[in-house]
Chains A and B, each alone.
Chain A
Amino acid sequence: MRQKGIQLYTDHPEEEFVAPGHRSCQGCAEILALRLALKIFGRDTILVMATGCMEIVSSPLPFTSWRLPWIHVAFENAGAVASGVESAIRILMDKGRIPRKDIHVVAIAGDGGTSDIGFQSLSGALERGHKFTYICLDNEAYMNTGIQRSSSTPFGAMTTTSPPGKRSIGQSTWKKDMPKIVAGHNVPYVATACPSYPFDLFSKVKKARMTDGPSYLHILSVCPTGWRIPTDLAIEYGRLAVRTGVFPLYEVENGKYKITYSPEPLKPVSEYIKGQGRFRHLKDEDIEKIQERITADWENLKALASISNR
């Protein structure tokens, strides 16, 4: 018998919708994020997945890791394909061609498939107001093709296309703020999450599932392979990203910002950066520069949250 109090953890559905035997790297927090999210979405879900790590580790013909209806079409169009699926399900039910049922469509893409190549398609789907959830699994680079930089790669990070050198610090631009861009579409629900905080993630997935309209989840998915960290540290680095303010956990519900977990006082950013191979080349002054930016961003977010509470 399970002990009381701790039972919470296993009260969540024990069914696995991502079958074991998938080929993600050791210690992949991206597939973990999906595994956990799908436990909440449940059986009546249709998955639309962009090309990327999660697609490639799960579907080598004639095998599939998916126990839910799943379609992969291309890299840049998860938003549009999901729009089509959602519309079809709706009209087929309206016409009585399939039985009425509460089926939820979930589009899933990486940070490249969301903030770069799939940006337009996502924007269109959000603006049109389809009832679906879009999940961005952000591992901060194009990991599937061998760790190239995306617009979601953080400042200073080394990738195979943003190598540090005599004239380069590595990634020379600041991470694109996707959740705020999505919030700019005035959709009913936007949230950031991280599998290192599973209960925060569960409650946000639940809200996304219940939203009548588009919902967006931006999930930080630590990638030991691309970040050059030991395979057992994926959960720990997700936690550090949150506690240093690098990746704050918040939600935007009907335009109102709310910080769902306050890590204050923030840990120094260096605790997050040191130890990651992708930041190994950074000097103290570089880390200082990042610290300033992170602190300012955190203050901005707090201001947004406090305005929302007025």
Chain B
Amino acid sequence: MAKPMEQYKWHELNVGCVIDEPGNASEYMTGDWRTMKPVWNNEKCVKCGMCWLFCPDAAIYITEDGYYTSNLYYCKGCGICAKECKPGAIKMVEDER
């Protein structure tokens, strides 16, 4: 696993600074950029998946029972999911962390 950049010694970098761990940026937390977070009301949810489709951060995933929820490690709180939810099942609420 990649270390934080300031811990790298010069000889620990790959030749040409090639990164050979695909997608290792997924360790990076973008959830702390957020001020608002989406909350689902599954009673209104029709499981259409539009929220999943439109999430720029790939932070929404499908749960075992077919509903959707957000991965708060990544969710930046943009609010697109709530805006695009036709049945109005998603609400943005203040994130008190």
Contacts and interface: CB of A to CB of B under 8 A. Distances in A.
Q: Do chains A and B touch in the complex (CB under 8 A)?
A: yes
A65 B23 contact: yes
Contacts of B48: 3, 6, 9
B59 A10 contact: no
A232 B49 CA distance: 17
Given A21-B29, A62-B19, A235 B83 contact: yes
Contacts of A68: 22
Contact of A65 (B25, B52, B66, B80): B25
B15 to A, nearest CB: 13
A29 B57 CA distance: 10
Interface residues of A, number: 43
Contacts of B46: 3, 6
B47 A26 contact: no
A252 interface: no
Query: Across chains A and B, which 5 residue pairs bring their CB atoms closest together, nearest first?
Result: A232-B79, A19-B23, A27-B78, A21-B28, A32-B56
Interface of B: 2-3, 5, 8, 13, 17, 19, 21-30, 33, 46-50, 52-59, 62, 66, 71, 73-74, 76-80, 82-84, 92
25 contacts: A2-B47, A6-B48, A9-B49, A9-B50, A20-B71, A21-B25, A21-B28, A22-B30, A24-B56, A24-B57, A26-B33, A27-B78, A27-B79, A27-B80, A28-B78, A32-B54, A35-B58, A58-B25, A59-B25, A63-B5, A63-B25, A195-B54, A231-B79, A232-B92, A235-B80
